[in-house]
Structure 1
């Protein structure tokens, strides 16, 4: 899939993810970047910050003080991690996302469009969450990368070892999720923690069926069909790679399409400590 065909390279996606990652944007203009409605599911807001905060709350053993944000998008979770880690590496497959994260890292004034209805939109300025200072932002290194090629990035000097790793809503968008999980296992320090957040939305346009971790029925000879749940396969894989599960919860998030249409997603969020 080339960049021209990648939905994550479009201006619309960049605008959408800026709203997701920087939910305080628009307050100055009196515009809600995501949810303006009464009785809205506000617990689904600040998803990137909650993912980063979950890793921090699990208190990984500090060996080198480094964290990694795999599939960092436009950087909201990366800056959250930089509050407590000495250095954060953050990469995404999308060039457009990485470029925007780098722009948010500087003092640059960035505006984006909040969709209202069809061609109608409000323009707001991107705003960092409280406490994200220039010093904190300077601790993050953003770059483009492929989550299925972690060993190659280590060999190229782009990645090292880490005390903490997060990967949110990416696993089921990878060509080879098993390659990614094995790669992660090879770069986590002992006592380090990996947080994997995913809705397990397997689609053949992203992942060929033979590479799905679950979401299908399996039948052995002489037996009835049994459903294969992705969360069970993930547990087996992570345990085989030397991790123990230390956290499990359902984590909601919301993405705005326009003022009356949203994606409400409930991802499985698990924490894994390296033995």
Structure 2
């Protein structure tokens, strides 16, 4: 997998993406398009696609610097955040341990503004654990009431390996939220492993034996690179519920 997510530049962009205030990302001195404003808060918004239940265990795959993991801990009694990037996990653990984390927001050229990320209000860090790992080769970590994976699938070399593992990770009647901008790139995923005929149909094909698709929608997101350059993207959101084991067994056994 690419080492791009180990760089100081990308780490700073993701700390701003996850923990920056609206004003720090889109200063009020500028007249920003409404679409950019609606794209703020993506790591929080994706976790709102779970139900209002109070689950026991949660898993956040591709957690980056951890904001969605912390947000899941508002409802879950225990949440594990996993990311392939050592730099992202180190930053998430610093925040979990109560440390503020200074980072530089690039304005242009060699002009930076220093900002600080900190643990969001109302979070019990004792409920959260972060670990570096490969979503395609997870160790035995048990099963979960909720699994969240945002903007991860199209960054995996072999995404089908994760899809095949999901029935073991999500408990019967548990919830799964998959979010992807469907930006399949050769630098991350070899073209033979790209979804056919499209991402949604591919997900349905692989997950339908074990999951019921509850709904699909879209969520925009915004990553600030400089004071004048932003990435505005839109992710496909699919929300699934794990079928009871006996129903899954009947579906798989059908010819």
TM-score normalized by structure 1?
A: 0.83
Partner of 1:237: 206
Pairs within 5 Å for 1:84-233: 84-132=75-123, 136-150=124-138, 153-154=139-140, 159-214=141-196, 228-233=197-202
Cα distance between partner residues in 2 of 1:103 and 1:88:
16
Taking a change above 3 Å as real, the CA distance of residues 60 and 148 of structure 1, as seen in their structure-2 partners, is farther
Offset at 1:71? 0.5
Offset at 1:23? 2.3
Partner of 2:248: none
CA contact (8 A) 1:149 1:183 kept: no
CA contact (8 A) 1:162 1:187 kept: yes
Offset at 1:60? 5.9
CA contact (8 A) 1:60 1:273 kept: no
State the SS of the aligned residue for 1:12.
Answer: helix
Partner of 1:273: 241
Partner of 2:71: 80
CA contact (8 A) 1:171 1:177 kept: yes
Cα distance between partner residues in 2 of 1:247 and 1:61:
20
CA contact (8 A) 2:54 2:76 kept: no
CA contact (8 A) 1:256 1:262 kept: yes
Q: Residue 42 of structure 1 is aligned with which of 37, 50, 54?
A: 37
Offset at 1:61? 8.0
Partner of 1:259: 227
CA contact (8 A) 1:60 1:192 kept: no
Partner of 1:219: none
CA contact (8 A) 1:192 1:274 kept: yes
**Aligned residue-pair number:** 239
State the SS of the aligned residue for 2:75.
Answer: coil
Q: Residue 18 of structure 2 is aligned with which of 17, 21, 24?
A: 21
CA contact (8 A) 2:57 2:144 kept: yes
Offset at 1:137? 1.6
Gaps of 5+ in 2: 244-255
Residue 33 in structure 1 maps to residue 13 in structure 2? no
Cα distance between partner residues in 2 of 1:72 and 1:262:
21
Gaps of 5+ in 1: 215-227
State the SS of the aligned residue for 2:118.
Answer: coil
Offset at 1:59? 4.2
TM-score normalized by structure 2?
A: 0.89
Deviation string for 1:84-122 (max 9, x for gaps)? Answer: 000001110000000000001122121111111111110
